[in-house]
Amino acid sequence: MASEEKKLSTRLIHTGDWQDYKKFQGYHSAPESLPIYLTSVFAFDDVPSVDQIYDGEAEGYIYTRIRHPNTDAVGGILAAAEEGEDGLVFSSGMSAIVLSILSVVSEGDHIVSSPVLYGGVHDFLTNELKRFGVEVTFVDFINGDVEGAIRPNTKLLYTETICNPLLEVPEIGKISGIAKKHGCYFFIDNTFATSVIVKPLVLGADLVLYSATKYLGGHSDLVAGAAVGGKELIALIRKKIVLYGSILSPAEAWLLARSLRTLELRVRKHSENALKVAEYLEAHPKIEKVYYPGLASSPDHERAKAQFTKGLFGGMMSVDLKGGEKEASTVIASMPSIKFVPSLAGYATTVSYSAKTSHRFYSPEELEAAGITFGQLRLSIGLEDAEDIISEIGSALERI
């Protein structure tokens, strides 16, 4: 604490810092919400404390790039939500996915992945991992022979729960079984579904990955990633976060923790609204096809029903308009409150255009293989009143 005799600059520096507030620990009340620990570093009590903290004999934080109270708090909430042992948060979904994969593969290893993936992950698997001598085989995880693609050096099976952007749903339990039989890890990106709809760890996956930028954050105001799994695997990945400097900042971790309090309410409403919109669009004369696992006509419906929380299929859908780029462009321009954004899963309904955004760098052959066309829009159904969403989309469709 600064004493009266110290000069102004010294008093400004040393009055009211956390050391003063250690006295709070003896108080009989505490903040209802976890404070944001905006500090880059933690001050040790003394030299013996340094030894004890580094050696794991005493509790204590060291440096915010390593871990801090806000990431620990949100990691704990996520682990509880997924029924996993431990959870981590990262500076983005991409860093969560890339660092988790890099934690388990080395030069000479092999990965079997679904080809229908978030564009950035597809790019990482196809182009980046090659530089490190890791090979990837892409196989259809629904109709293809995943087991047949496994080699003696296969370390990892990788897919998404609801594949982006055609909303296909692989059978998690079956893939887990194949991974266990061959001693591979099975990682799954659960961004589109969330733990409200399905808990892949319970179905045998080793690691659940997230772009927390999407439903977990849910308010279009933060970029973050997450991984939840067993203690040992999480400890391995935590080392990579420290090494590559990919931890989430305290303020964003706090925002993410706040968002998670309402995850269940939000994902339920997103799903209920999306089912109504999908049913409306399926019957619409200007629509060629609707991709939504909640529709009874979807080839993924039975698999989704068997794994998902009853009646919930998420807020994401894709639609093929009768037409191509011109029609897609007209519809996008004719929806005043449904914004055109290259992302998804915020509270508001938004539209995106995979061929021009998330999958922009796919070759024409890759686009075709992934079933992505220039007449295809992806809708992220928000928390507005379903009738208002339907009426806005309906008016836009009248323009084509």
Ligand X SMILES: *Cc1c(COP(=O)(O)O)cnc(C)c1O
Binder of ligand X out of 189, 252, 300, 327 (CB under 6 A): 189
> Given the complex with ligand X, which of 188 and 275 has the nearer CB atom?
188
Pairing type for strands 376-380 and 207-211 reads unpaired
Measured distance CA(96)–CA(212) in Å, rounded: 9
HSE-up (13 A, CA, CB side) for residue 221: 12
Kindly indicate which of the ranges 48-56, 103-111, 184-192, 234-242 contains the residues binding ligand X, using the contact rule CB under 6 A: 184-192
Closest of 12, 222, 245, 207 to residue 100, by C-alpha: 207
Q: Shortest gap between Cβ of 48 and ligand X (angstroms)?
A: 41
Among 213, 249, 318, 373, which residue interacts with ligand X (rule: CB under 6 A)? 213
The strand ranges marked E within 72-160 are 86-90, 110-113, 135-138, 154-160
Query: Does position 120 bind ligand X by CB under 6 A?
Result: yes
Quote the least distance from Cβ 212 to ligand X, whole Å: 7
Q: How far is the CB of 163 from ligand X (least distance, A)?
A: 8
Please tell me the count of residues contacting ligand X according to CB under 6 A.
Answer: 16
Does residue 160 belong to the site contacting ligand X (CB under 6 A)?
yes
Single residue of 70, 100, 194, 211 touching ligand X by CB under 6 A: 211
Q: Which stretch binds ligand X (CB under 6 A): 23-31, 113-121, 143-151, 281-289?
A: 113-121
Stretch that binds ligand X, among 108-116, 143-151, 185-193, 255-263 (CB under 6 A): 185-193
What's the min distance (Å) between Cβ of 96 and ligand X? 8
Q: How far apart, in whole angstroms, are the C-alpha atoms of residue 198 and residue 41?
A: 37
Q: How far is the CB of 158 from ligand X (least distance, A)?
A: 11
- Residue 350, CB-side half-sphere exposure with 13 Å CA sphere: 17
Residue nearest to ligand X (CB): 93
Q: Does 118 bind ligand X (CB under 6 A)?
A: yes
If the CB atoms of residues 211 and 318 are measured against ligand X, the closer one turns out to be 211
Ramachandran region, residue 183 (left: φ > 0; alpha: ψ -120 to 50; beta: rest): left
User: Considering the complex, what minimum distance in angstroms separates the CB of residue 118 from ligand X?
Assistant: 3
Question: Which residue in the set 110, 214, 238, 303 belongs to the binding site for ligand X (CB under 6 A)?
Answer: 214
Q: How far is CA 143 from CA 146, 170, 181, 300, in A?
A: 9, 9, 19, 11
Q: How far is the CB of 344 from ligand X (least distance, A)?
A: 6
* Minimum distance, C-beta of residue 298 to ligand X, in the bound complex (Å): 19
Nearest alpha carbon to residue 400 among 287, 250, 241: 287
C-alpha distances in angstroms, 337 versus 175, 207, 217, 347, 349? 40, 37, 21, 12, 8
Nearer to ligand X, 207 or 397 (CB): 207
Among 223, 341, 390, 400, binds ligand X (CB under 6 A): 223
Q: What angle do CA 246, 249, 255 make, to 5 degrees?
A: 130
Give the β-pairing of 376-380 and 350-352: antiparallel
Pairwise CA distance, residues 67 & 25, whole Å: 21
Judged by beta carbon, residue 189 or residue 327, the one nearer ligand X is: 189
Six-digit token string for 145: 């022979």
x/- binding map, residues 64-103, to ligand X, per CB under 6 A?
----------------------------xxx---------
**Integer Cα distance of 260 and 212 in angstroms:** 10
Among 70, 159, 176, 191, contact with ligand X (rule: CB under 6 A): 191
The whole-angstrom separation of Cα 182 and Cα 179 is 5
Residues that bind ligand X (CB under 6 A): 92-94, 118, 120-121, 160, 164, 189, 191-192, 211, 213-214, 223, 225
